[in-house]
Amino acid sequence: MGLHLDHDADDERQRTRRHHHDLFSIAGVCILSALVPFVWVAPTWHDVLFGIFIGVASTAGQWIVVLAFRYADASVLAPFSYTQLLWVSILGFLIFGEVPDVWTVTGAAFIVASGLYTAIAAGAALAAVGGSGRAVAERLIFPAEIVRW
C-alpha cells in the first residue's frame, strides 16, 4: 500500500510540474504576442524561401539520424557526432573569425579520444562475438537496407 501511495504522489508531482509548465508557456506566448505589433517586420521572399530550406534540411538531417540509430548502436555512431566539433570550429573561424584556445582544443581532444576508445572497444567486442572487426563495422555502418533506399 505504501508503494501505491508513493506512486500516486509521484504522479501528482508530475501533473503539477506539467501544469506549471503549461501556465508559464501560455504566459510567455501572451506576453510575447502583445509585443509583436511593435517589432514585427514582414519577411521577404528570400527570408521565406530560406526558412523553408532550413526546415527541409533539418527534417532530412533528423531523419538520417533516426535511420542511423535504427541500424547501429549508439557506441558505433558516437564518433561520427564528434565531427560536429570540427565543423563548428571551422564555421566559427570562417564566420566569426574566432580561433579556439588551447583549453577548447584540449577538451575537444579528450572528448574525441574517449569516444573513439569507446567505439574501438565496442567494435572489438562485436568482432569477438561474430566475425572480423571490419566486417562487423561494415554491417553496422552500411547495412544493405540503407544502401538500397
Q: What is the pLDDT of residues 95-116, one digit of tens each?
A: 999 998 899 889 888 887 887 7
User: 126: how many CB neighbours lie within 10 A of its CB?
Assistant: 20
Grid cell listed for 94: 570562417
Measure the CA–CA gap between 13 and 19, rounded to whole angstroms: 10
Grid cell listed for 138: 561494415
Of 14-18, 77-81, 124-128, 130-134, the range with the lowest mean pLDDT is 130-134
Residue 48 has pLDDT above 60, yes or no: yes
Measure the CA–CA gap between 132 and 29, rounded to whole angstroms: 56
What amino acid occupies position 146? I
The structure's pTM equals 0.49
Contacts of 98 (CB under 8 A, 6+ apart): 92
More confident residue, 1 or 7: 7
User: 8: how many CB neighbours lie within 10 A of its CB?
Assistant: 10
Helix %, strand %, coil % of the chain (to 5) = 85, 0, 15
Per-residue confidence at 19, pLDDT binned at 50, 70, 90?
confident
Alpha-carbon Rg for the chain, nearest whole angstrom, is: 24
Residue 17 has pLDDT above 90, yes or no: no
Per-residue confidence at 82, pLDDT binned at 50, 70, 90?
confident
Residue 9 has pLDDT above 60, yes or no: no
Q: What mean pLDDT comes out for the span 44-64?
A: 96
Q: Which pLDDT score, from 0 to 100, does residue 36 have?
A: 92
